[in-house]
Structure 1
């Protein structure tokens, strides 16, 4: 039994629906079910009764629900006590970020934060949204910059920051590279490099929706999930890609980034900051205040 298993259990106990609980935890239903099975095996009892129509708590599940709430609240309080009040360590802020925010937002934001709070150590963890959200839920991250999913766990607080515009990445010697901007219809029949939807749903959908809005189909030549890999594939002439604005700061020779002409609301990716509700944390609140005070870093990044 571990804390993450207990958080999985409480989410299912709250929703009484494995599919909804998996969405809140930003996990695959199979992974969530595995955590529940492991918890039941470690306790030696069934926690849920399940049928094709309903999920219900057993008597053991009802008992564990109350005790797990107390245990997790105590664990969260203990974690904060050691993080914030120990005289043997420096104050610590653990920040998660998707690649684009790690490149375009965090350097300036953390610099401003450190000027005001030089005693705080900041640790940065770069990953995909699908991997960052569980780390918020299990307490391994204090704050994270993510692409918000359609459904968010009720335990997570979030604040929308901006829509990050998309750009078209083209090989430097491509026939379109000399243009000042690109119309999506010009990409008809062009080989496109896109991320897998399960891994990066917002980036994948932005490309597909822009093509659909233009009345054409995307000709997908390659699937690649990491932005650095996608840009390198563009540089190698494997295709074109629609990427977030801040990704253009990657130093890759042979690639030109062009704005999308007459870009609709579809040509942007949402960016939000998230944290765990009901957990007091003065350091995290200080960072949230810096974010609020310096909206110029993200408020109009299309300019």
Structure 2
């Protein structure tokens, strides 16, 4: 039995007329009759009742019609899915991101991508820049959103996704909260919340150097692994924290934001990916991402 036997049978069963079925299939009527007879011989069952005036389905023919339609529909779906995958419409995409990237426009971009590509399964992983580079190297993620300050990503392809300025997150009612901006030197006596040095050693050292250049050593009272945690500690009144401007989107109760004026390390989120990950799915992703880039 071949697929053409099923297609021929379905056509005859739906038309209940060999002549119309032959025209529908763009073949001559005698070969069509022969193919149907071969199918019945192989099954050992009569599927059609034939008289000189009409063609009808036997009860076995009605059951076989239902099953044949399912087989052909399944084949059509398989062909469509394979074609869709070849054009990036189905498959998997693994995305790594740094905590602060989740406060940028990245979630909006991912939401739009999901809506436009429901056949693509997304796997999201929050990780440090160092860990994301390791995961890119091993193929565990396809694309990363990281802060590349002090990191070597020369083996990967990169593109700046978003650049931002710093804000000072302060407890609501703090003396800085009513100011238009705060010079970095004014943080001399402020209790500060900063990320641990082991997460980003070079970025940490560069930030401390900026404080020294402003004439003081920072009073670090608490460490926090993410900007979200930093702002939660600020809301609890434990100190102030340097965060990206778009962190204001969090609208955390008990926190005010004031621009910081002074020399600080660049605040940038960069996309990185390996050449091996390139393909239709990543192309579709970058198509959406391009509309959200802020550089």
TM class, shorter-chain normalised? 0.5 to 0.7
Q: Aligned pair in 2 of structure 1 residues 202, 102: CA closer, same or farther (>3 Å)?
A: farther
What residue number does 2:294 align with? 298
Alignment of 1:40-55 (within 5 A): none
For the 8 Å contact 1:189–1:219, the answer to whether it is kept is yes
Q: Which runs of 4+ in 1 moved over 4 A?
A: none
Aligned length in residues: 211
What residue number does 1:133 align with? 133
**Matched residue of 1:135: which SS?**
helix
User: CA shift at 1:275, angstroms?
Assistant: 0.6
TM-score normalised to structure 2 length: 0.63
Matched, 1:270 2:268: yes
User: CA shift at 1:97, angstroms?
Assistant: 0.9
User: CA shift at 1:168, angstroms?
Assistant: 0.3
What residue number does 1:217 align with? 217
Alignment of 1:10-49 (within 5 A): none
Matched, 1:102 2:98: no
What residue number does 1:33 align with? none
Counterparts of 1:219 and 1:230, CA distance in 2: 15
When structure 1 is superposed on structure 2, of 95-104 and 246-255 the one drifting more is: 246-255
Q: Aligned pair in 2 of structure 1 residues 122, 279: CA closer, same or farther (>3 Å)?
A: closer
User: CA shift at 1:198, angstroms?
Assistant: 1.9
For the 8 Å contact 1:206–1:269, the answer to whether it is kept is no
User: CA shift at 1:90, angstroms?
Assistant: 4.3
User: CA shift at 1:112, angstroms?
Assistant: 3.3
User: CA shift at 1:194, angstroms?
Assistant: 0.8
Matched, 1:287 2:288: no
What residue number does 2:176 align with? 176
When structure 1 is superposed on structure 2, of 139-148 and 162-171 the one drifting more is: 162-171
Q: Aligned pair in 2 of structure 1 residues 223, 99: CA closer, same or farther (>3 Å)?
A: same
Alignment of 1:195-214 (within 5 A): 195-201=195-201, 204-205=204-205, 207-214=207-214
When structure 1 is superposed on structure 2, of 231-240 and 244-253 the one drifting more is: 244-253
Alignment of 1:37-186 (within 5 A): 84=85, 90-186=90-186
Mind listing any 5+ residue stretches in structure 2 that lack a counterpart? 1-81
**Matched residue of 2:176: which SS?**
coil
Q: Aligned pair in 2 of structure 1 residues 161, 146: CA closer, same or farther (>3 Å)?
A: same
Mind listing any 5+ residue stretches in structure 1 that lack a counterpart? 1-80
User: CA shift at 1:215, angstroms?
Assistant: 2.3
User: CA shift at 1:206, angstroms?
Assistant: 5.9
Counterparts of 2:151 and 2:99, CA distance in 1: 21
User: CA shift at 1:159, angstroms?
Assistant: 1.5
When structure 1 is superposed on structure 2, of 203-212 and 247-256 the one drifting more is: 203-212
What residue number does 2:42 align with? none
**Matched residue of 1:260: which SS?**
strand
C-alpha RMSD of matched pairs (Å): 2.7
Counterparts of 1:279 and 1:228, CA distance in 2: 30
TM-score normalised to structure 1 length: 0.62
